[in-house]
Chains A and B, each alone.
Chain A
Amino acid sequence: MTPIDVAFFFFLIVTGLAGIGILLTRNVIHAAMLLVIVLLGVAGLYVLFRAEFAAVVQVLIYAGGIVVLIAFGVMLTNRPENGKLMTGNHLVLPALLVSSGLFYYLVQGIQLLDPIATQQVAKLPEDQVEYIGAAFMTDYIVAFELIAFILLVVLVGAAYLAKHHSRL
């Protein structure tokens, strides 16, 4: 086991356990904090899969932005009972059936893949940030501009929706 293998299995196990923890916990704040662990673990896996830029974006936007938003959402939309933010479960059996069945078929599908082909690593650009920046401005310029426009619309729309209105 090289140190990279150890890091890989560390991130794999931590991410998986934190994901299971979100399903099992009934406390909303605990779920939000476990979500941080899942997102950071996935960011670590991004680094090991040689996607450093995506890892940085994941930490900045997900672990930094979305989790804070979700924490605000928890505080604004939940009323504590006995000092705890608990939530109930329903439809446990159908959910387990559907998700475990789907997992079974996904695993079957993954096992069909050629393991030699999936282990190949192409010669990636030396400076990924520079390459991705150039790609955004050339090949992906339409998608880049569209996503900038969507972000602007979402910002204005969310601010309008969350504003206090006498009538919705």
Chain B
Amino acid sequence: MIDFATYGMYLAAMLFCLGLAIMIVKRNMIFVLIGVELILNAANLNMVIFSRNDPNLGGQIFTIFSIVIAAAEVTVALAIALNVYKYYKTSDLDEVNELKH
């Protein structure tokens, strides 16, 4: 009997750390958003794994809420990224370094 849950948790931990590393390393706005998506997916994967032990499916229901929140987050983030690009003419986060309007 292979312990699926533990391997799934290792993968979730790995996705979380990869997302964190991507958020720190990459200089592009879109790359940082992709890192955020990976972190949210790691959290959802953990919730689904533990939902297997719950006859009320609490983890799975909250995964669906979390997916909807992620969709809302990425929509607003892209709208902001679009405005930042329009103003600074670059998507490099190192060059977006002044708050002046």
Chain B residues bordering chain A, tally (CB within 8 A): 73
0/1 string, A109-144, CB within 8 A of B gives 1: 010010101111111110010011001100010010
- The answer to whether A77 touches B17 (Cβ under 8 A) is no
Which of B27, B64, B87 has the most A CB atoms < 10 Å from its CB? B64
**Chain B positions within 8 Å of A72 at CB level:** 78
0/1 string, A127-168, CB within 8 A of B gives 1: 010011001100010010001001100110111011000001
**Chain B positions within 8 Å of A50 at CB level:** 52
- The answer to whether B60 touches A54 (Cβ under 8 A) is yes
- The answer to whether A51 touches B7 (Cβ under 8 A) is no
Complex Cα spacing A58 to B94, Å: 33
Chain A residues bordering chain B, tally (CB within 8 A): 84
- Main secondary structure on A side of the interface with B: helix
Complex Cα spacing A124 to B36, Å: 31
Given known A23-B25, A51-B63, contact A106–B13 (CB-CB < 8 A): yes
Which of A31, A32, A118, A128 has the most B CB atoms < 10 Å from its CB? A118
- The answer to whether B57 touches A135 (Cβ under 8 A) is yes
Complex Cα spacing A48 to B51, Å: 12
Complex Cα spacing A93 to B43, Å: 25
Question: Distance in Å from the Cβ of A48 to the closest Cβ of chain B?
Answer: 7
Interchain residue pairs with CB less than 8 A apart (30) = A32-B34, A45-B45, A45-B48, A46-B48, A49-B48, A49-B51, A50-B52, A54-B63, A61-B68, A70-B33, A70-B78, A73-B30, A76-B85, A77-B85, A78-B30, A89-B26, A95-B25, A99-B21, A102-B17, A103-B13, A107-B13, A118-B5, A121-B52, A123-B55, A125-B57, A140-B61, A140-B65, A143-B65, A154-B76, A161-B82
Q: Which 4 A-B residue pairings sit nearest by Cβ, starting from the closest?
A: A95-B24, A161-B79, A87-B28, A106-B13
Interface residue ranges, A against B (CB under 8 Å)? 5, 8, 12, 15-16, 19-20, 22-23, 28, 31-32, 35, 38-39, 42, 45-46, 48-51, 53-54, 57-58, 61-62, 65-66, 69-70, 72-74, 76-78, 87-92, 94-96, 98-100, 102-103, 106-107, 110, 113, 115, 117-125, 128, 131-132, 135-136, 140, 143, 147, 150-151, 154-155, 157-159, 161-162, 168
Excluding A62-B70, A107-B13, A147-B65, 20 further A-B contacts by CB distance (< 8 Å) are A12-B7, A16-B11, A19-B15, A45-B48, A57-B64, A61-B70, A73-B30, A73-B78, A78-B91, A87-B31, A99-B17, A102-B16, A106-B13, A113-B9, A121-B53, A122-B52, A122-B55, A136-B61, A154-B75, A161-B83
